[in-house]
Structure 1
């Protein structure tokens, strides 16, 4: 079995025999897979009238457990955006009826962002469709291969995810 990366690596080996292009064997495939996944995510989320960033915020709230509420600060740390960006995102989600702002009982000046029933239904449906697609992608791998691939990717990714 051959893929696009095989041709890319062969061409670089011919044109630049002085370089070790072996990292391309893995990382070009990871990059191409990420682009395919991004396109699929956008398509799945669009079917549920969601942008990827909307799904990310709603999913973070949904994963937090009942009553599905978090502070804006917690949301921005989880989604890796600035305070101003998160404020705009919460505003848009509130306008669409997917979240509500509530006073924070532990901080009179603070607010909590709570997932509405509509927000929960939308994120749950989008997640179910996304997982069906992702399962179809991984169907070519057996359980042991999936576990091994996940472990290898974790080994590469974990140091990158560590806070600076």
Structure 2
């Protein structure tokens, strides 16, 4: 049986766009991390018949104090997705009875989205599955390794955010 491309011991796929000594090779490794994360995220939410991106919206609302409500624009900002994509996702989770939408009493141009009681329970159940998946991976790393990764990723995100702000 062929080895899964991400299985331990599989030879690393060469990055033909940069030399290994060039820090640009990190983009290839980071892309592998992205692929792994997507696989794990999808694995965690699959039993619940929801896409991970839709779950992120529910989880974002679940972090808000009761009534677990945010304007659509804030949801888009928090989950880093365009408004059109958010609207489609909200249509899906609203049809499933997980959220409700209403006009803002303060600004009728603004739409508020809140978790329904069923949506809150559902989000908590999916989050428990996602937390279990993350713990399964993180238990393979020491606290020191996790701290170093967190510091490095925080630094990288600051650079990416600065680049995005300057170029978009």
Shorter-normalised TM-score: what interval? Answer: 0.7 to 0.9
Q: Do residues 8 (structure 1) and 14 (structure 2) align?
A: yes
1:65 maps to what in 2? 65
2:97 counterpart SS class:
coil
1:138 maps to what in 2? 138
CA distance in 2, matches of 1:110, 1:156: 34
Query: Gaps spanning 5+ residues in structure 1: where?
Result: none
Query: Gaps spanning 5+ residues in structure 2: where?
Result: 1-7
Checking the alignment, whether the CA contact within 8 Å between 2:57 and 2:75 is kept in structure 1 is: yes
Q: Do residues 75 (structure 1) and 75 (structure 2) align?
A: yes
- Could you say what the CA RMSD is over the residues aligned between the two structures, in angstroms? 2.4
1:147 maps to what in 2? 147
Deviation track 1:33-86 (CA, whole Å, cap 9, x = no partner) reads 221120121121111121112112111111222211011111112223332332
Distance 1:144 1:73, change over 3 A: same
Deviation track 1:2-31 (CA, whole Å, cap 9, x = no partner) reads 5532x637xx6xxx9xx6323366443322
Higher helix proportion (structure 1 or 2): 1
Q: TM-score, normalised by structure 2?
A: 0.80
2:4 maps to what in 1? none
Distance 1:38 1:115, change over 3 A: same
2:56 maps to what in 1? 56
Distance 1:4 1:137, change over 3 A: farther
